[in-house]
Amino acid sequence: MNNELYKLIYAIITILITSGCFGYINYNILEKLTVIVDRPNNETDKKQKIMIFTGVNVGLYWILTTVLNCEISLSILLVLLFDVVGTIWIIKPLIELINSLINKIRNTSGQSYTDNRETRDYIFNTNKIQTLFIFDFDNNLITCGYLDYQQSGDNNYFDLALIPLDAPENQYSFEQVVEETSKHKDSRILVDFEKKIKIYILRY
């Protein structure tokens, strides 16, 4: 290959990698796996994370092309392979390990557990069957049912898809639900102060 053409291709590929295109792949995969979660209006943190992943990709690409003398096409394929496979098998477990260690340190110092997920995602994302009873702040039952689907917490709009229970809704009183919830250690209560609702969640 002509030396000038090689330099041109190398420069174009380097621009693509350093511009954040490859770093966004890492970020997008980790976001889909809820390993990292950024608020919709917080673009600064998102850009910083993409820059970090971009730096990792640039370093890997430099090692492959300069130190190991790999062809450009092979280097690109290896970087893309790392972005997909490496993100899932290396970066994801590493981030989870760091978060686990941080929470252990917080626990020993008497601080509360911290998680980067939205509260709704933290509560609802489980493989257990969940029965939901939704009350207003006056303890009036709004609706109830088995959780079928909930929209991701990174969406500002909050809705739930419920499967109707076997018994009619008017058979469930607030006192019965509170009593039943207290019997199960896995039960949770989600309080939404903005919408003024309380969601009692029974897990089985």
Average pLDDT, the chain: 81
Express each pLDDT in 34-78 by its tens digit: 788 766 556 777 788 888 888 888 888 888 888 888 887 788 888
Residue 155, pLDDT > 70, answer no
Task: Provide the β-strand partners of residue 191.
Answer: 198
> For the residues 166-171, what does the mean pLDDT come to?
82
Residue-level pLDDT at 9? 66
Note the pLDDT of residue 122: 75
**pLDDT tier at 7 (50, 70, 90 boundaries)?**
low
**What is the C-alpha to C-alpha distance for residues 26 and 49, in angstroms, rounded to an integer?**
9
Q: Are 123 and 188 in contact, with CB atoms under 8 Å apart?
A: yes
Q: Which residues contact 156 (CB under 8 A, 6 or more apart)?
A: 40
Bigger pLDDT: 148 or 168? 148
Residue 47 Cα to chain centre, angstroms: 16
Least confident piece of the model among 21-25, 33-37, 152-156: 152-156
Say which residue, 136 or 154, is predicted with more confidence. Answer: 136
